[in-house]
Structure 1
């Protein structure tokens, strides 16, 4: 006789077993379920998930259509077909031609098309112009990591080598504490991660390590100069918003799961023979693992935009679009109608780690410290330092007060000369770039009414219609629209009349054989003596020749709009640290004038009543963001052409040694000795 309780228990166990078997089969058949919920995964498993999404032809057409119509506002698209010297060999990408190819091409998966789009845009070498898609890209999903970081140093004989950073294990054991055991287990017997510190790297995957840096420079985008794109392969530092950051470098992180492992031929410190180690890449989740458990949740949560009427009516002001923009566009919080809210910044979408305390400059707690800014006095008693990691991240008032108080504080301590360290500064507020220049050198004809550069906007057909709609239909009475003439001044810095069409007539040009058109010249956009939260000094704090600007070359956007006028108009000098010997180092790149994105352009058309115009982009079906340069700055040496394509060669390429690499204080002391003695 079978007891009822035993029967129920048996049936329950059987049901659980069948359900578990079904779940197991689902996980085996669903490559995204295989990695669902895991913090760390193998890159091969991540690629299997990504490449399992078949490409919907409607989605392919939608993405390319949105890209094409957004690029109608990108001011540099025809310049980038073949950039002028000195960047002709670096920038030669016909993006619209590539988009046409991609639209007609068949792909095995949606991921394969995404990689093709990113590679094409990256060839522009323009950090303002990018395509990011939540479904695959690191800021929202996974980043590929290695536990070792590379540097370029010179020895006593002047020979430059590639080495594993001496601080590698100190950084990785903190940042990747939950994964170190996996990497240790992959190493040969007798070799630990810590024992790799300082090792000389003789080859990477069988090739000279410099070849690997050059290969990365072909695909990492962001800046025009070859020297800077080589430099970002290596580890560096940045003054972050709450302290010092260790920037891992492109060797140690990949935004997509492109590689499974790397094989290095090395010579460890105090070891007589060369050794070979193979280290696996590991992909780490950048968001809550519980959100993604299988293909369906992945696609719904991070790939596709909702298609409901509620979403469409609120686009682009939705949580999805705000979160995407927040990740990739640096901007200081401020009222949206502010005339000081103009931003020029390149995306910062990779991971920084905690800076080793042994390398961080000892805090001096001088007046003025704010977010990305900190002040120091060197032991010589006459050299002050402003470490400035970003022109964004704080309110404008905090930056203004911090900069003015900090620089005055240095003066009061006896500083007669100034080092401005802008290493890995990707830009931010355009008007803070003007503000810093203005308070450094005082009121003069190069700073009043503005220190930054005049600009132009691309006068495409839809842009012209938006301006006309604002003027003729009064679609922007509160002067919120970017295309509103009331926001801008002319070449003489006189405000445009509210009914002045600054795109009619357009300035017609032929660029690389392609007819193009631009707005009339746009002048001052930031306050001079009024409109700030602080009172500007009447006298210079530091004359231009007494200022040296230091970086690894990655000083972009608003950082460039500060550095270039300081150098070319005021006589400031520049140092790029750690660049490859024999390669020209540019102290800035990706200058632009104002960076925006596709959501901004959609909103402009929407507010002008042109949302249904066939020239306007359709609703983007995926959770992506398209970055553009909306305004381009005119040059100083050649004021008829964009500053973007003019030379910014550094005065000094300072080699790094084992004692100075990634040691800001040691670098500043060396710069002071070489540049001010």
Structure 2
């Protein structure tokens, strides 16, 4: 990878060969090696989870951390236990667990709120953060991976950060923390025990046999299913009047810990493309303390919420993801703008902290609405892209073009390779018999030859709602803010707004002296093993020498299906472009994990009031 992403360059095929030739003492040891290897790709779209182990038990410390600036002297920044740590522990764990920590530490947890960290395990805390970032995965940018170590808010919920919450067991039973408690100047060292508890979605077990049967075997949605088989079962049900399959479709709901259905939703006869990250643990199961929850919501639905700050000039769009009910979210873009404009707002701060993506077309719609009727946006409100065109995908398209299944096009909506699913960059839909992966385009990725498809254009048009005829906010009055953990569709939106319209970009927090990236991973469109496996089984390619076998475990593998081209250089994939934020603002004890206080502070700094 080019700078600043050289640290995540990985020969994944070589690593898989190494794993294949290795001997492991247990299946768990094998899983750890596979998991850590995939994470080194630094790409959350290609994330891997094995539900036999990942977050079967979640391991906790009672001390979420944050990088806090010293009030009155913001050049001094250190790693601290967050001021609300004891409140979070009370909310999450309850009395019995708290007593164990109290007993081990010899103090109430509230005594540690806001404490400055001197060392972790006897090591400099910044060194520990860097070591974590080297293996944590999920994001290309090292600074974004560093930020994942720390706590953050998700509007109504709370992310403890990867120091205080782990999806896999930690080596050792405790960690030594040297710290200086608030109101003291003395360094003290405490041996803080880890505590684990079964994740709520894990099925109970009492022995290894039950563990495997209840949590480790593949489920109905782990591997793919032929669309031909599904269609024939529907016909059988219709003909006999009997229920031959379960009424619920396991592919129509999200996999565990994920936000989007395994097979993307269909809306108005069109498959809604998704770009989102793979999670290996619970995301929204911890509630933010009530006094930190933002008030003054003037509009919202699902993960989209609108606020007006006390200056009555600045509106805030808190966008947790681009996932959910697509038509409701699409409409709320307009309703929210109307609500904040009616309240007098002339500026918009968009907070995309911890936004892992979702609907690609929602990102394009939000961009089109905020940009107004700019030239070309009613032709291409998103980004052009390309998919890999190696031999196996080409065989899939050949089978579709030659009507190998005999299924009508309506039964093939789930196939990502249908020619009529895509458009040229001239906004013309490919004919149903267009072998669109031929000829492929030879490219060099990190010095390695690869084959991609021709450039493909936007698939979101026409929108089913008319966008406003005028731009709702001047570009100079729009800013996008996050902790750097903005990925997938969130990145597509943020990049379009910044590159094409020069809106401000801000990262809050982060290691002092580093260049923060306003988006952590780009991609273009994501998929999964189950969906790709369905393609192979549908078109008779499961026994092809290039086809992977079924999972034998309860696993989820994400796939980067499409990459987008840079809006500033159509010959370059945006994936390999650096995205430094224009501004980096510090977190303060008064603003950390306090959304409204943070928005007020950011607005004051951005617009110098």
TM-score by length of 1: 0.82
- 1:126 matched to 2:126: no
Per-residue deviation at 1:118?
1.0
Counterparts of 2:497 and 2:8, CA distance in 1: 26
The aligned counterpart of 2:311 is 380
Alignment partner for residue 216 of structure 1, among 123, 132, 137?
132
Structure 1 residues without counterparts, runs of 5 or longer: 1-82
With over 3 angstroms needed to count, the CA separation of the structure-2 counterparts of 1:131 and 1:535, relative to structure 1, is same
Per-residue deviation at 1:520?
0.7
SS at match of 1:218: helix
Counterparts of 1:516 and 1:578, CA distance in 2: 38
Counterparts of 1:472 and 1:370, CA distance in 2: 44
The aligned counterpart of 1:601 is 532
The aligned counterpart of 1:354 is 287
The aligned counterpart of 2:90 is 173
The aligned counterpart of 1:626 is 557
Counterparts of 2:443 and 2:483, CA distance in 1: 35
Alignment partner for residue 355 of structure 2, among 417, 425, 428?
425
Counterparts of 1:288 and 1:435, CA distance in 2: 34
With over 3 angstroms needed to count, the CA separation of the structure-2 counterparts of 1:513 and 1:373, relative to structure 1, is closer
With over 3 angstroms needed to count, the CA separation of the structure-2 counterparts of 1:121 and 1:586, relative to structure 1, is same
Alignment partner for residue 105 of structure 1, among 22, 43, 47?
22
Per-residue deviation at 1:143?
0.8
Any residues of structure 2 matched to 1:251-266 within 5 Å, and which? 251-259=163-171, 260-266=173-179
Q: CA offsets per residue over residues 95-122 of structure 1, 9 Å max, x none? A: 0100011011111111111111111111
Alignment partner for residue 535 of structure 1, among 433, 443, 466?
466
With over 3 angstroms needed to count, the CA separation of the structure-2 counterparts of 1:245 and 1:265, relative to structure 1, is same
- 1:287 matched to 2:200: yes
Per-residue deviation at 1:365?
3.9
Per-residue deviation at 1:501?
1.2
Alignment partner for residue 226 of structure 1, among 142, 148, 157?
142
With over 3 angstroms needed to count, the CA separation of the structure-2 counterparts of 1:324 and 1:620, relative to structure 1, is farther
Q: CA offsets per residue over residues 328-349 of structure 1, 9 Å max, x none? A: 5422684378435111011234
Counterparts of 1:501 and 1:311, CA distance in 2: 24
- 1:403 matched to 2:353: no
The aligned counterpart of 1:580 is 511
Counterparts of 2:8 and 2:548, CA distance in 1: 27
With over 3 angstroms needed to count, the CA separation of the structure-2 counterparts of 1:306 and 1:457, relative to structure 1, is closer
SS at match of 2:318: strand
- 1:274 matched to 2:187: yes
The aligned counterpart of 2:458 is 524
Counterparts of 1:338 and 1:548, CA distance in 2: 35
Counterparts of 1:633 and 1:94, CA distance in 2: 22
Deviates more, 1:589-598 or 1:285-294: 285-294
The aligned counterpart of 1:249 is 161
Counterparts of 2:271 and 2:498, CA distance in 1: 24
The aligned counterpart of 2:241 is none
Alignment partner for residue 485 of structure 1, among 419, 427, 434?
419
- 1:95 matched to 2:12: yes
Alignment partner for residue 335 of structure 1, among 266, 283, 304?
266
- 1:552 matched to 2:473: no
Counterparts of 2:404 and 2:67, CA distance in 1: 58
Q: CA offsets per residue over residues 76-106 of structure 1, 9 Å max, x none? A: xxxxxxx122322x32111010001101111
Counterparts of 1:311 and 1:509, CA distance in 2: 30
Contact 1:446 1:569 in 2 (8 A): no
Per-residue deviation at 1:598?
0.7
Per-residue deviation at 1:515?
2.1
The aligned counterpart of 2:235 is none
Contact 1:485 1:500 in 2 (8 A): yes
With over 3 angstroms needed to count, the CA separation of the structure-2 counterparts of 1:338 and 1:286, relative to structure 1, is farther
- 1:207 matched to 2:123: yes
Counterparts of 1:569 and 1:637, CA distance in 2: 8
SS at match of 1:447: coil
Alignment partner for residue 666 of structure 1, among 579, 597, 603?
597
SS at match of 1:105: coil
- 1:456 matched to 2:386: yes
Counterparts of 2:92 and 2:500, CA distance in 1: 43
Counterparts of 1:290 and 1:343, CA distance in 2: 29
Per-residue deviation at 1:326?
2.0
Deviates more, 1:225-234 or 1:322-331: 322-331
SS at match of 2:302: coil
Per-residue deviation at 1:615?
2.0
SS at match of 1:369: strand
The aligned counterpart of 1:435 is 365
The aligned counterpart of 1:23 is none
CA RMSD of aligned residues (A): 2.3
Counterparts of 1:495 and 1:600, CA distance in 2: 23
Counterparts of 2:268 and 2:548, CA distance in 1: 24
Per-residue deviation at 1:302?
1.5
The aligned counterpart of 1:499 is 433
Per-residue deviation at 1:285?
0.6
Per-residue deviation at 1:612?
2.5
With over 3 angstroms needed to count, the CA separation of the structure-2 counterparts of 1:637 and 1:129, relative to structure 1, is same
Counterparts of 1:117 and 1:661, CA distance in 2: 35
With over 3 angstroms needed to count, the CA separation of the structure-2 counterparts of 1:272 and 1:647, relative to structure 1, is closer
With over 3 angstroms needed to count, the CA separation of the structure-2 counterparts of 1:521 and 1:665, relative to structure 1, is same
Contact 2:219 2:554 in 1 (8 A): no
Contact 1:86 1:645 in 2 (8 A): no
